[in-house]
Amino acid sequence: MNISPVVKEAWRINDEMNRVLLEHLKLNPELLYLQTPDKNWSVAGYLAHLAGSKKWWGTHLHESEVTALADLYQTQGESFIIEKNIEKIQEIFDQTSQVILGTAEKAPNKGRLPYASLDLYLMHMIVHDAHHRGQIFLTLRTAGYAPPDEDTFWGEWWPDQTAIGS
C-alpha cells in the first residue's frame, strides 16, 4: 500500500527525535533507572514499551516479519528485565522502526490492523512515541535532570525561519 510522503517524513523526524533522546541518555546512562513519581515505570521501561508497542501493533500487519524483531525486555516469571544498554536500545529502536515502515510500505493491505489506513497506523505510533517521550521528559525534570536541548530535540519540526512570511 502507499504510505503518504508526509507520513514517511513525519516517521523519519520522529525517529530523529528518539535518536536525540537516546543520545542525551548516553551522556548519563544512570538516567535509564529513573522512575516516574508514582514509581510505575523507569525511563528504560518507557523505552522498552515504545519499541514493544510498535512490534506488537506491527504483528497485526505482518506477523512473521515483525515477530523476529528483538525486544528490550525479557520475562522471568512475572518479572520484566529491562534492557539498559543504551547502544542496544538504539539498535533495536532503529531496527524496529525500519522494519515497521518497510512492512507498511510493501503491505498489500492493512492486515488485522484496526485503522482506516496504514497512514493512520503509522501516525498512531508517532503520537504514541511523543506521549511517552513527554513522560520521560517529565521524569527527568522531576528528578532534577535536564531533558535534551530544545533546539536539538525539536530540530526538524521547527519551521524554516527564512520561509516564514515569504
pLDDT in tens, 103-126: 999 999 999 999 999 999 999 999
Residue 99 has pLDDT above 60, yes or no: yes
Looking at every residue in the chain, the average pLDDT score rounds to: 92
Could you say which DSSP state residue 2 is in?
P
User: 3-24 in b/e burial notation, b at 16+ Cβ within 10 A?
Assistant: beeebeebbeebbebbebbbeb
Residue 165 has pLDDT above 70, yes or no: no
Cα(5)–Cα(9) distance, rounded to whole angstroms?
6
Confidence of residue 151 (pLDDT cuts 50, 70, 90): confident
Q: What is the pLDDT of residues 52-88, one digit of tens each?
A: 999 999 999 999 889 999 999 998 898 889 999 999 9
91's grid cell: 539498535
Tell me the DSSP string of 85-119: -HHHHHHHHHHHHHHHHHHHHH-SS-TT--SSSHH
Q: Are the C-beta atoms of residues 115 and 7 closer than 8 Å to each other?
A: no
